[in-house]
Amino acid sequence: MISVDIHSKRFGDTQVLGRVRLELGQGESLAVLGPSGVGKSTLLRIVGGIDRKFEGHVERPQRMGVVFQEPTLLPWRTALENLTLVHRGLSEAEGREALERVGIGDRAELFPGQLSLGQQRRLALARAFAGAPEFLVMDEPFVSLDAELAEGMMRLTEALIAEVRPAVLLVTHAREEAERLAGRIAHLEGRPAVLHPEEKDHLRCVKP
């Protein structure tokens, strides 16, 4: 179970997030929609354990995968090493299998700079799923991709989620992505931003 109860998040004197409460069980998925700059990525960094300077409490499983807006790969490591260095218990054979699953098995020995943007995004997706995450956090994972690449990545992501069945928290500004990848949708709005569920009776999101 993922349990999030954020009381407040500030940057200096500016309060970015107000009360944000949500729960997710295994296999459940929630998309958070909102305009640029509202605090979606801040929320995601808190939930993912990257930002710990906030008031509140987050409970999450240890096995977690994160897909950022940018691939955030180690440029001096090969595609395979970008998996095995992050997932210490992952064997080389398992790493190669993970690359095969996202369609870049033949790129294992190449460095990120030798990969196209689409291939880098596939590598980032492979890294997120390589550890069989119980919880997957995605921060606008298809941003800056053209329509064809985005569609391919979305189909691949749908297939991996269906296979691994993690709890999923997706933040995006694109409603189509939200509707395809999440069973529930909420909106992050206001100053400071709070979460507004679209279907209050069916969302374990609590409006403050």
Q: Which residues on adjacent β-strands are paired with residue 135? A: 64, 167
Task: Say what the pLDDT of residue 150 is.
Answer: 85
H or E stretch including 2? strand 2-11
When the pLDDT of each residue in the chain is averaged and rounded to a whole number, the result is 89
- Is the CATH number 3.40.50.300 carried by domain 2-63+132-206? yes
Closest CA to 99 of 91, 143, 27: 91
Quick check: 198 pLDDT over 90?
Answer: no
Q: Which tokens in the block code for residue 189?
A: 């709005």
Task: Say what the pLDDT of residue 199 is.
Answer: 62
Closest CA to 108 of 119, 96, 121: 96
Residues 78-99, buried b or exposed e (16+ Cβ, 10 A)? bbbbbbbebbeebeeeebbebb
Task: Say what the pLDDT of residue 142 is.
Answer: 84
Quick one: how far is CA 85 from the chain centroid? Answer: 20
CB 31 within 8 A of CB 172: yes
| pLDDT one-digit tens code per residue, 125-160 | 999 998 889 999 999 888 877 888 888 888 999 999
* pTM for this entry: 0.87
What is the radius of gyration, based on Cα positions, of the chain? Answer: 17
- Confidence at 85, pLDDT banded by 50, 70, 90: confident
What pairing do the DSSP bridges indicate for beta strands 167-172 and 135-139? parallel
CB 189 within 8 A of CB 34: yes
Q: Where are the domains of the chain?
A: 2-63+132-206, 75-131
- Confidence at 37, pLDDT banded by 50, 70, 90: confident
